[in-house]
A and B are shown apart, each in its own frame.
Chain A
Amino acid sequence: GAVVSQHPSWVICKSGTSVKIECRSLDFQATTMFWYRQFPKQSLMLMATSNEGSKATYEQGVEKDKFLINHASLTLSTLTVTSAHPEDSSFYICSARGTLAGEKTGTQYFGPGTRLTVL
């Protein structure tokens, strides 16, 4: 149980294009999903928190117009990097926290991540 998929696993795009990353909870309903970013040799940094059916809450310093988050259902959240630039090249990873039976610990279940390279 508690499997989260993420697609694509890697993407290369040209500067100025937009890239969409999908995060799905496969066997549970995710009331909350999180998006993180990791630069080389750095820790995972929370970008935003999204609750199903409501607007995402962004962390300080993360541009909401650049990183569009949609959490339209209890099993799917998407992150769109708009007008991507080389400095947006990073590892993006999502996690989900949900309504698993007996789940009270607040544990987040992670996808495998997406490596974005912007040329």
Chain B
Amino acid sequence: ILNVEQSPQSLHVQEGDSTNFTCSFPSSNFYALHWYRWETAKSPEALFVMTLNGDEKKKGRISATLNTKEGYSYLYIKGSQPEDSATYLCAPTGANSKLTFGKGITLSVRP
């Protein structure tokens, strides 16, 4: 799987704002979609993995949706907090289970 696009590249929001990111990927040869959160100087942390069209996952204030037919996933953060500041990576996989990463979206939440 090639050409994984994430937008926007960076985002600066105020504490309490809700925000959302987009991950676009080729819909052919799709197997799963992974989202990771990567804080500076730490290991990327697995957030969600989704496989089925229409999947929705939620973890606290963060949720994600998946559209495999049109090749995109949305990540939502409700009521952003400074601790949400991180780079958010998406990575679809094909049947070979190899992760193909986008460049990531850097979120900065101002107190």
**Interface residues of A, Cβ cutoff 8 Å to B:** 2, 4, 34, 36, 41-46, 49, 93, 97, 105-113
Contacts and interface: CB of A to CB of B under 8 A. Distances in A.
A106 B65 CA distance: 19
A65 B49 CA distance: 34
Contacts of B43: 4, 109-113
Contacts of A34: 99
A113 B43 CA distance: 7
A112 B89 contact: no
A112 to B, nearest CB: 5
B102 A43 contact: yes
A107 B31 CA distance: 13
A112 B41 contact: yes
A36 B46 CA distance: 16
Interface string B85-111: 000010001000111111110000000
A105 B49 CA distance: 7
Contacts of A2: 46
Given A44-B101, A112-B42, 7 more contacts: A4-B43, A43-B4, A44-B89, A46-B98, A46-B99, A108-B34, A108-B46
A63 B101 CA distance: 21
B81 to A, nearest CB: 23
B98 A110 contact: no
A108 B45 CA distance: 9
B64 interface: no
A93 B44 CA distance: 10
B46 A107 contact: yes
A106 B44 contact: no
A109 B104 contact: no
Nearest to A49: B98
Contacts of A36: 101
B34 A41 contact: no
Contacts of B75: none
A49 B98 CA distance: 9
Contact of A108 (B4, B42, B99, B104): B99
B32 interface: yes
